């Protein structure tokens, strides 16, 4: 990447959901805890972690589809949310710049609208292409950009395969010429045979349009080749963040090491010979997370300080960040 300008920065970003736990009792799901990181313009930042660790919540809170509980979000140098200074910018102008491709393609498209109407609605909200002819042209162009036929504009979402529905979701996100897209597991609901087609298409579109991606996935092996950098989450906390190669070759956090040890290697002999690190116990509930470091209940290196103090995400090498009290042992 030639320029290393930051497009999005977050400081101490938190998202808690209030949930009822009895007729009068209320509790909080602490889905994202104090996120501190940034995304460079034009890069793909991969975000990985187990199911329920808060990836979708973080992705949606970044673009304020979920209102943050507290913290700060800066987009292109401008604070769009700051709980301390009571800043909460109106999001409509930013919605055009920040888009999302949803995790579940079928649930994210209105079944009563044709594909043309779905894409057209995004154009109308932002008053792009007010003339009918221009609007129809743009819809046709978007469909062909994502590899669909122009006649598909008159069909309803249920008349498409999962892969095609995801392409419609991508066309809808692209319709408004965005700068930043949260790609929330855009391929995990798809058949393996078309996953790479969709990934390649997203990469081509990124190059053509200079897009910046937050690419969410369960699995490190999905994002390692397409991400410039990767962030690893555990139970609402970012535990490690580094350049993709660096993270995969020299992980420093015990949780990242566990995730990587589960990635199959192409050579079956090496794969069998490699030591797999297995974690004890289940992932704790984000409604009642462990004190201190949230990973301490499953970490082989945990000591007293880990139970008491949440470690900060600190730079441990150039551009390599980790949150752990015992990196020297891990």
Ligand X SMILES: Nc1ncnc2c1ncn2[C@@H]1O[C@H](COP(=O)(O)OP(=O)(O)OP(=O)(O)O)[C@@H](O)[C@H]1O
Give strand ranges (E) for 116-236.
180-184, 212-217, 229-234
> Which tokens hold the place of 9?
């920065």
Q: Which partner from the list ligand X, Mg ion, none does 178 bind, CB cut-off 5 to 8 Å by kind? A: none
> Which tokens hold the place of 143?
């469909």
> Which tokens hold the place of 261?
């040890």
Q: E strand or H helix at 7, and its extent?
A: strand 6-20
Contact between 125 and ligand X per CB under 6 A: no
Q: E strand or H helix at 307, and its extent?
A: helix 304-308
| 24, burial (CB in 10 Å: exposed 0-12, middle 13-18, buried 19+) | exposed
Judged by CB under 6 A, how many residues of this single chain contact ligand X? 15
Tell the smallest beta-carbon distance from residue 202 to ligand X (Å): 18
Tell the smallest beta-carbon distance from residue 101 to Mg ion (Å): 12
3-state secondary structure of 80: strand
Closest CA to 28 of 36, 16, 37: 16
Quote helix, strand, coil % in the chain, to nearest 5. Answer: 35, 25, 40
> Per-residue contact track with ligand X, 232 to 271, x per CB under 6 A?
----------------------------------------
> Per-residue contact track with Mg ion, 43 to 72, x per CB under 5 A?
-------------x----------------
Closer to ligand X at the Cβ: 14 or 218? Answer: 218
Q: Which partner from the list ligand X, Mg ion, none does 54 bind, CB cut-off 5 to 8 Å by kind? A: ligand X
Contact between 55 and ligand X per CB under 6 A: yes
Q: Which partner from the list Mg ion, ligand X, none does 125 bind, CB cut-off 5 to 8 Å by kind? A: none
**For ligand X, which stretch binds (CB under 6 A), given 52-60, 91-99, 114-122, 130-138?**
52-60
Closer to Mg ion at the Cβ: 32 or 98? Answer: 32
Q: Which partner from the list ligand X, Mg ion, none does 40 bind, CB cut-off 5 to 8 Å by kind? A: none
Closer to Mg ion at the Cβ: 32 or 118? Answer: 32
Q: In the set 126, 135, 218, 274, which binds ligand X (CB under 6 A)?
A: 218
Is residue 15 within 8 Å of 68, Cβ to Cβ?
Answer: yes
Which positions from 77 through 116 interact with ligand X, judged by CB under 6 A?
A: 103
**For ligand X, which stretch binds (CB under 6 A), given 51-59, 117-125, 290-298, 301-309?**
51-59
Q: Which partner from the list Mg ion, ligand X, none does 57 bind, CB cut-off 5 to 8 Å by kind? A: ligand X
Q: In the set 8, 45, 53, 223, which binds ligand X (CB under 6 A)?
A: 53
In angstroms, the first-to-last Cα distance of the chain is: 31
Q: In the set 5, 19, 87, 210, which binds ligand X (CB under 6 A)?
A: 19
User: CA separation (Å) from 146 to 38, 43, 56, 142, 322?
Assistant: 29, 21, 24, 6, 37
User: Hey, which residues does 17 pair with through a beta bridge?
Assistant: 29
| 259, burial (CB in 10 Å: exposed 0-12, middle 13-18, buried 19+) | buried
Contact between 17 and ligand X per CB under 6 A: yes
For every residue of 64-75, DSSP letters joined together read TSS--SEEEEEE
Is residue 167 within 8 Å of 198, Cβ to Cβ?
Answer: yes
Tell the smallest beta-carbon distance from residue 29 to ligand X (Å): 4
Catalog residues that contact ligand X under the rule CB under 6 A: 17, 19, 29, 31, 49, 51-57, 103, 218, 286
Binding site for Mg ion (CB under 5 A): 56
């Amino acid at each position: 990447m030639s320029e290393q300008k930051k497009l999005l920065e977050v400081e101490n970003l938190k998202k808690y959901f209030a949930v009822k736990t009895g007729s009068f009792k209320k509790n909080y799901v602490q889905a994202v805890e104090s996120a501190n990181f940034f995304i460079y313009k034009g890069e793909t930042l991969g975000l990985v972690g187990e199911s329920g660790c808060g990836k979708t919540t973080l992705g949606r809170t970044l673009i304020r589809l979920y209102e943050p509980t507290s913290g700060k979000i800066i987009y292109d140098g401008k604070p769009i949310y700051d709980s301390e200074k009571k800043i909460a910018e109106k999001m409509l102008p930013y919605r055009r710049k920040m888009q999302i491709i949803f995790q579940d393609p079928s649930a994210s498209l209105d079944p009563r609208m044709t594909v043309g109407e779905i894409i057209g609605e995004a154009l109308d909200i932002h008053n792009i292409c007010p003339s009918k002819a221009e609007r129809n042209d743009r819809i046709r162009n978007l469909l062909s950009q994502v590899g669909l036929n122009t006649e598909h504009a008159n069909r309803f979402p249920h008349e498409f395969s999962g892969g095609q529905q995801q392409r419609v979701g991508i066309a809808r996100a692209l319709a408004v010429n965005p700068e930043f897209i949260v790609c929330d597991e855009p391929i995990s609901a798809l058949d393996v045979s078309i996953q790479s087609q969709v990934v390649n298409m997203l990469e081509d579109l990124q190059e053509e349009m200079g897009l910046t991606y937050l690419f969410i996935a369960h699995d490190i092996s999905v994002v390692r080749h397409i991400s410039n950098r990767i962030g690893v989450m555990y139970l609402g906390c970012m535990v490690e963040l580094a350049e993709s190669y660096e993270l995969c070759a020299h992980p420093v956090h015990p949780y990242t090491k566990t995730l990587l040890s589960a990635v199959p290697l192409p050579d079956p002999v090496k794969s069998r010979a490699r030591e797999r690190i297995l974690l004890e116990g289940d992932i704790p509930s984000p409604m009642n997370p462990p004190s201190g470091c949230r990973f301490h209940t499953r970490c082989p290196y945990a000591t007293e300080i880990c139970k008491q103090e949440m470690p900060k995400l600190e730079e441990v090498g150039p551009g390599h960040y980790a949150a752990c009290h015992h990196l020297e042992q891990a």
